[in-house]
Copies of this chain bind each other. A is one copy, B any other.
Amino acid sequence: MSEPIRIIQYGLGAIGRATAQLALTKPNMQLVGAVDLDPKIVGRDLGEVLGLDKKLGVIVSDKPTVLFGQTQADAVVHCTSSGFLDVYEQILEIIRAGFHCVTSCEEAMFPWYRYPKLAAKLDDLCITKEVVMVGTGVNPGFVMDTLALVLTAACQRVQTIRVARVVDVATRREALQRKVGVGLTRDEFQKLAQDKKIRHVGLTESLAFLADALGWTLDDISEEIEPVIADKPIKTKFFSVKPGDVAGVHQFARGVSGGKERLQLDLQMAVGAPNPRDEIDIAGEPPLKLVLQGGVAGDVATPALLINTLARVVEARPGLHTMRTLGLPRIVS
């Protein structure tokens, strides 16, 4: 067995905590630092913050610069925000400190689409510092993009790919229910959607990643968002929804080439969404239809993808990677 990967967990929200807990169970990984800005947990032992019955000797710091300078680490697992611009400086600091970085930032899954110049700059810096950076998670990062791409390995030709993900958020955490607009009126939803305060981030990144990996030049990429309207009263642990109000969000991303829609990603996240599943439909030779029955639970799968991808990161050549350019995704034992 090789030396364990020494990890700093950056961001201790729901996903960050679950990721830290998962890292603790992996024999080849070791938690050596933690960063978060929440004054309620800064200065406390990470074991306590994670609700373990033991201390870990890792104190939560709100000063990443200081911590990075003092800590012998290999990699940072970064779980703070969805927007690439919001995390860019944080990630620069991680890379400058000489650490690999795996981030759950949705837009970082394929930053080459919206921010090609910043992505190129980050790629250069990674190469200079001889580290690897990648963005991943269950979505974007796996079910609507990487898995669909892997499936094309069995195809001689692919005409179109359609991926649908239906998530029943009834049993999910409050922050997610809030993020998809559960309990809002239509008007409130439209206003917040317009301000990009309600939405799943990353659908377009998944689509751009797929197009790039398939070598498809798209004439147009478009995104749509609409509310899912409740047709009967719904109560979750956190919200009450009246009939006619919002039960969740329905988003589409579409990629058009030569006047033809070749890629379509269809994401529905709503309370009581029927037949939750992930579905990949390839029109090609052979045609393929994959269904993940019940779907893939994001709260469990995203920490898994972060930790499992970290094992691929430490063996990759330096640079800003995507899930396409790392080794075969798989569980780290």
In the bound assembly, the distance between CA atoms of A218 and B301 in angstroms comes to 26
**Interface contact A304-B155, CB-CB below 8 Å:** yes
Classify chain A: how many residues form its interface, as a range: 35 or more
| This protein's copies in its complex | 2
Contact of A292 with B288 at beta-carbon distance under 8 Å, contacts A150-B330, A156-B22, A330-B150 already known: yes
Question: Interface of chain A, helix or strand or loop or mixed?
Answer: mixed
Contact of A331 with B300 at beta-carbon distance under 8 Å, contacts A153-B305, A288-B292, A305-B154 already known: no
Contacts of A82 in B (CB 8 A): none
Contacts of A304 in B (CB 8 A): 153-156, 285
Q: Which residue of the partner chain, among B153, B323, B324, B331, contacts A331 with CB atoms under 8 Å?
A: B153
**Interface contact B293-A291, CB-CB below 8 Å:** yes
Q: Which residue of the partner chain, among B142, B285, B290, contacts A292 with CB atoms under 8 Å?
A: B290
Output the least CB separation between A68 and chain B (Å).
27
Contacts of A146 in B (CB 8 A): 150, 153, 328
**Interface contact A142-B153, CB-CB below 8 Å:** yes
Contact of A153 with B329 at beta-carbon distance under 8 Å, contacts A286-B301, A290-B292 already known: yes
**Interface contact B290-A149, CB-CB below 8 Å:** no
**Interface contact B214-A331, CB-CB below 8 Å:** yes
**Could you list which residues of chain A lie within 8 angstroms of chain B, going by C-beta atoms?**
22, 25, 138, 142-143, 146-147, 149-158, 213-216, 285-286, 288-294, 296-297, 300-301, 303-305, 307-309, 323-331, 333
Contacts A154-B304, A290-B292 known; 12 new A-B pairs at CB < 8 A: A22-B156, A142-B153, A146-B150, A147-B151, A152-B330, A153-B308, A155-B304, A156-B307, A285-B304, A286-B297, A290-B290, A291-B291
**Sample of 12 A–B contacts (CB below 8 Å):** A143-B154, A146-B328, A147-B150, A150-B150, A150-B330, A153-B308, A156-B331, A289-B292, A290-B291, A327-B327, A327-B328, A328-B329
